[in-house]
Amino acid sequence: MSVLWVLGAGQLGAMLKHAGTPLGLDIRPVDIESHDTLPLQPDDIVTAEREDWPKTDATTQLASHPNFVNLSTFPQLADRLTQKQWIDKLELATAPWFPVEADSSADYAYQTLGDRVLMKRRRGGYDGKGQYWLKQTEGTDIPDDWKGQAIAEQAINFDEEVSLVGVRGANGETHFYPLTLNLHINGILYASISPLQRLAPLQSKAEAMLSKLMDALDYVGVMAMECFRVGDELLINELAPRVHNSGHWTQAGASVSQFENHVRAVSGQPLSPAEIKGQSMMVNLIGVPVDYQWLNIQGLELYWYQKEVRPGRKVGHLNFCSNQPDVLQNALQTLTLPAPYPEALDWLSQNLP
Ligand code: ATP
Ligand code: MG
Ligand code: MG
């Protein structure tokens, strides 16, 4: 049987492997720093858990395999400049922006985008790292090392943040999960909840947007689209050509998780619409040690990534799925986590139907 290689051996790679195991698929995440000679066979398949990677022994071997799915798409979405150009080209709504060039000035940014402008590094940013606010009232200037390296975006005064996770097969068939409502604190995802009846009116619009992108890129696998909801409108914040943190709830709450759907799509197995099992929520574990007493909480599923705990670092997540509202509310009352978790748990509690 052919092997499905995953470029990257972080938690996403581990969860892809975990999802493919019951299907009997041989999934092998590869540490990008590995110096091993990989026993790649001609009918093996390669995918990635990350959109951007350095040139290493391991990535060079994987990227030269002819069956690397979406290989040409990764650099286009990994660079925020070309990602924004794709969104504009397809006439999809996004925060107004311009590329930060050698001669760009803060004055130009304030004139064109308003008094609060968010610069984002073109490559490598995640969890809100690689962002820099320009504020006219504070007279902020563009630091030299951001010139040519960033895009500038208008600050969006959004109502809330939602995301759509979809999967596309090589034959062009697509399936989508219900929209997910996300809470970011300081640029990092803390909690998600899905499905929500009140977001249902936006579902078909969101699906049309992500379909247009996946079709234009002839994309195969799972892609996530992060959006700002402003009234009835959705503005695309960013795209991730991979499984996504805001889709982790599907491990507990859908008959086919985003991880299994990605594995199925890239390995050419049949796709089918996932059955949604109940009300789901997800809490990211950020910079907190594991506490196995959490397992006493009804409805809780723990994913611990076995990484060293550091402040601000994602080290695990908790999934919950139930059809009993009391079970979910009780779980939120029982969980004790340090600041800023009380805010995140309260947000979940308020958003539960
Ligand atoms: P991720 O971990 O999701 O990959 P990232 O570092 O790539 O994050 P973004 O998703 O672009 O960064 O931004 C992180 C968060 O910062 C957003 O979820 C949102 O809360 C806030 N943000 C981003 N862009 C804007 C904007 N134009 N206006 C207001 N807030 C924004
Ligand atoms: Mg990002
Ligand atoms: Mg993001």
Residue 245, token pair as written in the block: 């943190």
For residue 279, the model assigns a pLDDT of 98
123 conformational bin, left if phi > 0, alpha if psi -120 to 50, beta if neither: beta
Residue 147 near residue 101, CB atoms below 8 Å: yes
Residue 36 Cα, ligand 3 centroid: separation in angstroms? Answer: 33
Say if 341 falls within a structural domain.
Answer: yes
Which residue ranges make up the annotated binding site for ATP?
Answer: 80, 120, 125-131, 153-156, 161, 184, 237-238
Q: Is the CB of 126 under 6 A from ligand 1?
A: yes
Q: What is the mean pLDDT of residues 143-164?
A: 97
| Same domain, yes or no: 169 and 144 | no
Confidence of residue 105 (pLDDT cuts 50, 70, 90): very high
| Same domain, yes or no: 226 and 310 | yes
| Same domain, yes or no: 104 and 58 | no
Beta bridge partners of 154: 117
ipTM: 0.98
Biggest CA–CA distance in the chain, Å, is 62
Q: Whose CA is nearest to atom 4 of ligand 1?
A: 126
Residue-range definition of the domain harbouring residue 106: 96-154
The single-letter code of the amino acid at 277 is: K
| Same domain, yes or no: 61 and 140 | no
The single-letter code of the amino acid at 261 is: N
Q: Whose CA is nearest to atom 5 of ligand 1?
A: 126
Higher pLDDT, 18 or 127: 18
Phi, psi of 52 (to 5 degrees): -135, 140
For residue 2, the model assigns a pLDDT of 94
- State how far the Cα of 259 lies from the Cα of 17, in Å rounded to an integer: 8
Q: Is the CB of 124 under 6 A from ligand 1?
A: no
Q: 85-99: string of b/e by CB count within 10 Å (b at 16+)?
A: ebbeeeebbbbebbe
| Same domain, yes or no: 132 and 172 | no
Q: Whose CA is nearest to atom 22 of ligand 1?
A: 187
Q: Is the CB of 237 under 6 A from ligand 1?
A: yes
Confidence of residue 144 (pLDDT cuts 50, 70, 90): very high
Q: Is the CB of 95 under 6 A from ligand 1?
A: yes
Q: What is the mean pLDDT of residues 309-319?
A: 97
Query: Which one, of 88, 74, 76, 79, lies nearest residue 122 by Cα?
Result: 79
- What is the total count of domains within the chain? 3
| Same domain, yes or no: 122 and 269 | no
Q: Calculate the CA dihedral of residues 78, 167, 259, 185 and round it to 10 degrees.
A: 60
E-assigned strands of the chain?
Answer: 3-7, 26-30, 45-48, 97-100, 116-121, 131-135, 150-154, 160-168, 174-176, 180-185, 188-194, 221-230, 233-240, 279-286, 300-304, 314-322
| Same domain, yes or no: 276 and 247 | yes
Q: What is the mean pLDDT of residues 299-310?
A: 97
For residue 337, the model assigns a pLDDT of 97
Q: Identify the CATH number of the domain in which residue 271 sits.
A: 3.30.470.20
Say if 262 falls within a structural domain.
Answer: yes
Tell which one of 98, 121, 131 to mutate to probe ligand 1, the residue whose CB is within 8 A of the most ligand atoms.
131
Whether residue 1 has pLDDT greater than 90: no
Q: Is the CB of 238 under 6 A from ligand 1?
A: yes
Say if 78 falls within a structural domain.
Answer: no
Mean pLDDT, the chain, whole residue set? 97
- State how far the Cα of 110 lies from the Cα of 71, in Å rounded to an integer: 37
| Same domain, yes or no: 150 and 233 | no
- State how far the Cα of 301 lies from the Cα of 317, in Å rounded to an integer: 8
Q: Is the CB of 155 under 6 A from ligand 1?
A: yes
| Same domain, yes or no: 142 and 7 | no
Say if 343 falls within a structural domain.
Answer: yes
Distances (CA, A) of 343 to 184, 196, 250, 326, 330: 11, 20, 23, 19, 16
| Same domain, yes or no: 166 and 299 | yes
CB atoms within 10 A of CB 111: 10
For residue 128, the model assigns a pLDDT of 87
Sign of the dihedral through C-alpha 228, 230, 234, 236: negative
- State how far the Cα of 293 lies from the Cα of 228, in Å rounded to an integer: 36
| Angle, vertex CA 224, rays to CA 194 and CA 123, nearest 5 | 135
Nearby residues of 72 by Cβ (< 8 Å), 6 or more positions away: none
Residue 25 near residue 4, CB atoms below 8 Å: yes
Which residue ranges make up the annotated binding site?
Answer: 80, 120, 125-131, 153-156, 161, 184, 237-238
**Of 48, 68, 88, which one is at a domain's C-terminal end?**
68
Q: Is the CB of 184 under 6 A from ligand 1?
A: yes
| Same domain, yes or no: 294 and 170 | yes
Confidence of residue 316 (pLDDT cuts 50, 70, 90): very high
For residue 217, the model assigns a pLDDT of 98
Say if 89 falls within a structural domain.
Answer: no
What is the full DSSP assignment across 213-270? HHHHTT--EEEEEEEEEETTEEEEEEEESS--GGGTTHHHHBSS-HHHHHHHHHTT--
- State how far the Cα of 85 lies from the Cα of 76, in Å rounded to an integer: 9
Q: What is the mean pLDDT of residues 250-265?
A: 98
Q: Is the CB of 119 under 6 A from ligand 1?
A: no
